[in-house]
A and B are shown apart, each in its own frame.
Chain A
């Protein structure tokens, strides 16, 4: 199929419109029945998966970087929006965004599925928020106009805020869910506004150069910057994305948001929202500011190590199972950051695979936490124990994903971490060695989790319902996906190779002048 035809260009706005319209439909469907919104949500996200897979099957993915070095897209969509400022509705899809959208679709389906029993209040409004959030995320992965990107970047926050604040859990004696939601919002919005100023400054510099207002990625890529300008702008962008990733020490919102969020919110946060930060670094920071990023790389890598070790250490002392999983995210995202700033194709591919695997594995762990909470009404590890006998299928699933999280060979996370470390070693051997210690800590916290929750004497004598058919199906799908990623990652690596190689080249040698 010829992917440049006008008809297929409309696929991109369609990808954003499906969850958006689905959300509205789900809200209205609530009046008919409480089941309708769930099905509408499920089908909308399944449609995203189907569309993404269809595009993957039909697009001719370039095996190598195009020689001319300009950005190239599998599908591109462009329409005028605010000509006063040179802002257009410019969307573009390459292998990287395609994979991220596929991940969003898969986790979207799971988010709807895992709330089937948990969410009983305001069901329609819940699905409206969930789907609009996912629409915003898909927009972030597609936008190539910096203004449009920023709009999506901020627009996905509001629904997430409502998800946490309205359907979250307030821990006993602890912080309320509204507190956690507000903290999340303020952290990301403040960093976002800083990024907005940097975007405006970049656009203004471009205007100085060319006399044209433009927010277009393809244009701004070639803006000549002095060393100081580039460094300052890079830093503002980096902070904007680092809060989302999250990079130590900008992570404090994450454990709170995760522990108070409903299961679907946690899956969405860990699986998809954190990835927007990494995506932003890959898509915008490295290409727009390659020289400054090179200079900044050692600092970023040190932050990555700090995150890996700090996240793992804090995971070890948590008594709340969801906070534990949340801190492991900080640790895993440290590896992603390390891979991104190592900057060669191998490390970048590793970072992308790790993003996918972490999305799937951590999403699964959060779903398992949510299921446990539905059964035990607690997230305290001290009040668990003995689950291996009381709910054997559940215990198997938890064991599997804990092992995935520690990086067991054969599962997706191992491929990601291995590639990141292999790619980083030639660049920064000592830092890589230090980062590898995170793998040891990962084994410790994963086994700690398994031991506290599954083994030992049971906390009480109540019978526990084992996994239901719906839950088993979700877990099985995730296990298969992780196994596939772990045993046969080549299609994924091929899909992202060209865009990542290009980003790597820009990062190493600067963007060639047109």
Chain B
């Protein structure tokens, strides 16, 4: 694909826009600190990027590193939308923050930029660049409330484990490079298939190492140990962004990489990954059952969700690819909404977020809006119809049925049934009376309005796509039509 510089620049417009936005935000912060202006600027940047990403454009290879096709563009739009929502949530969360507030937005933009590069990457180098930009920005975001121990602890845990995961990933790519001499994804599958004997074994070891690296990032069991601690320590809106965008972008990049390095060639690896999927579903759901801390509960539930998401990766087929994208979109909405509800009740000035089950007692009568967002989000995660969460599960099961993966389908069903218990527990507790706490707590402020707008738009997306999923389904199949 030899395209003119002109066409390449147009194709890379979303990324360029983000980069320019980051520089502008940095310069403005250097000049004058104004929380509201920075937040508005950030939102504007995300909205513009989202619009530009949705404009139709031919698939273009921008340098050998990035492939900007419908698929990348669609994911970029999703990331930008998630970024805009996160900005609003952070604005509410940091309203009473004691310290500098503006750098958070810079870090958020950087993280989103990294995620977008990840989505467009078709080369090991760009994959790692995107991943590291994303992760390093996230360390800063997690540790943002500097005065408290828990965020710091979480950030250090994430830093070390994430670095270990990246190192594993790098080693895997190095093995493959050593055997095939290739870093681009395109011809990778054929090159590995052409190997034989010891070379082939080393390449397969490389594939396995890459999977381990991805499993860390996606917090699949048994590489999930960091998840609960990090989510618990991170500020709620950051935890939401980490869970939704960071993991979602990795899953999307993985799907692109998987096209090249087809699993079908390595049955042993596929078998091992099935075990991983089932283990994630089991550990995620069983772990969540025992939690009284809402953020830890959501962390375990996200482990289970990525267990479900691994199922279409494993079974393959055209429905499966759609299932992955659909699930990522649905999961982004559900996760941002759930953590957004936690964020709406919390603030960075307090030592801990509102993350104890008891904090949620009687919430429906105290903060009806938060409950009317949170409960649908939880029901969606449980897979109740008329929410996009049900359709996501529907896609996963459809993919499993298409490829006759009955055991995996059964694991999804059993996992969902167990999952109901803790989602419902968290949902119903918000309606139960709290002694002395049944008065409406109304705080009308600009920050509260920003949070409410974010939450309401999420719940509208959740129910809207649940009742009328055709636009989303069509967009997903269009995004995949071009690639592969």
Whether both chains belong to one complex is answered with yes
Residues of A within 8 A of B (CB): 81-85, 150-152, 154-155, 157-158, 161-162, 165-166, 178, 181-182, 185-186, 189-190, 193-194, 196-197, 200-201, 204
Given contacts A154-B385, A189-B416, A193-B413, contact A161 B424 (CB under 8 A): yes
Please state if A82 and B473 are interface contacts (CB–CB under 8 Å): yes
Cβ contacts under 8 Å, B397 to chain A: 193, 196-197, 200
A193 to B379, CA, bound (A): 15
A85 to B476, CA, bound (A): 13
Please state if B470 and A197 are interface contacts (CB–CB under 8 Å): no
B477: Cβ under 8 A from any A Cβ: yes
B211: Cβ under 8 A from any A Cβ: no
Given contacts A82-B470, A85-B473, A155-B384, contact A166 B417 (CB under 8 A): no
Residue interface bits B401-424, CB-to-A below 8 A is 1, else 0? 110000001001110110011001
The minimal Cβ–Cβ distance linking A206 to chain B, given in whole angstroms, is 12
Of B384, B385, B412, B413, which is in contact with the most chain A CB atoms at under 10 Å from its CB? Answer: B385
A158 and chain B: residue at smallest CB distance: B384
Please state if A185 and B413 are interface contacts (CB–CB under 8 Å): no
The minimal Cβ–Cβ distance linking A4 to chain B, given in whole angstroms, is 27
B386 and chain A: residue at smallest CB distance: A155
Cβ contacts under 8 Å, B412 to chain A: 193
The minimal Cβ–Cβ distance linking B391 to chain A, given in whole angstroms, is 9
A174 to B469, CA, bound (A): 43
A349 to B468, CA, bound (A): 38
Please state if A182 and B421 are interface contacts (CB–CB under 8 Å): yes
B425: Cβ under 8 A from any A Cβ: yes
Given contacts A151-B385, A190-B413, contact A178 B421 (CB under 8 A): no
The minimal Cβ–Cβ distance linking A77 to chain B, given in whole angstroms, is 17
A177 and chain B: residue at smallest CB distance: B428
A104 to B386, CA, bound (A): 22
Cβ contacts under 8 Å, B413 to chain A: 190, 193-194, 197
A194 to B424, CA, bound (A): 20
A157 to B401, CA, bound (A): 25
A177 to B421, CA, bound (A): 14
B48: Cβ under 8 A from any A Cβ: no
Please state if A197 and B401 are interface contacts (CB–CB under 8 Å): yes
Please state if A182 and B417 are interface contacts (CB–CB under 8 Å): no
A158 to B375, CA, bound (A): 11
Q: Write 23 A-B pairs (CB below 8 A) sorted by A numbering.
A: A81-B468, A82-B469, A82-B470, A83-B470, A84-B477, A155-B384, A157-B384, A158-B384, A161-B424, A165-B428, A178-B425, A181-B424, A181-B428, A182-B421, A186-B421, A189-B417, A193-B383, A193-B417, A197-B400, A197-B401, A197-B413, A200-B394, A200-B401
Please state if A182 and B425 are interface contacts (CB–CB under 8 Å): yes
The minimal Cβ–Cβ distance linking A124 to chain B, given in whole angstroms, is 12
The minimal Cβ–Cβ distance linking A208 to chain B, given in whole angstroms, is 10
A207 and chain B: residue at smallest CB distance: B402
B390: Cβ under 8 A from any A Cβ: yes
B185: Cβ under 8 A from any A Cβ: no
Please state if B421 and A190 are interface contacts (CB–CB under 8 Å): no
B474: Cβ under 8 A from any A Cβ: yes
The minimal Cβ–Cβ distance linking B369 to chain A, given in whole angstroms, is 15
**Of residues 123 to 169 in B, which have CB atoms within 8 Å of A's CB atoms?**
none
Please state if A81 and B470 are interface contacts (CB–CB under 8 Å): yes
The minimal Cβ–Cβ distance linking B38 to chain A, given in whole angstroms, is 39
B177: Cβ under 8 A from any A Cβ: no
Please state if B424 and A185 are interface contacts (CB–CB under 8 Å): yes
A156 and chain B: residue at smallest CB distance: B385
A204 to B386, CA, bound (A): 22
Please state if B420 and A189 are interface contacts (CB–CB under 8 Å): yes
Q: Beyond A84-B477, A196-B397: 15 further Cβ-contacts under 8 Å? A: A84-B473, A155-B386, A158-B384, A161-B428, A162-B428, A165-B431, A189-B383, A189-B417, A190-B413, A190-B420, A193-B397, A193-B417, A196-B394, A197-B413, A200-B394
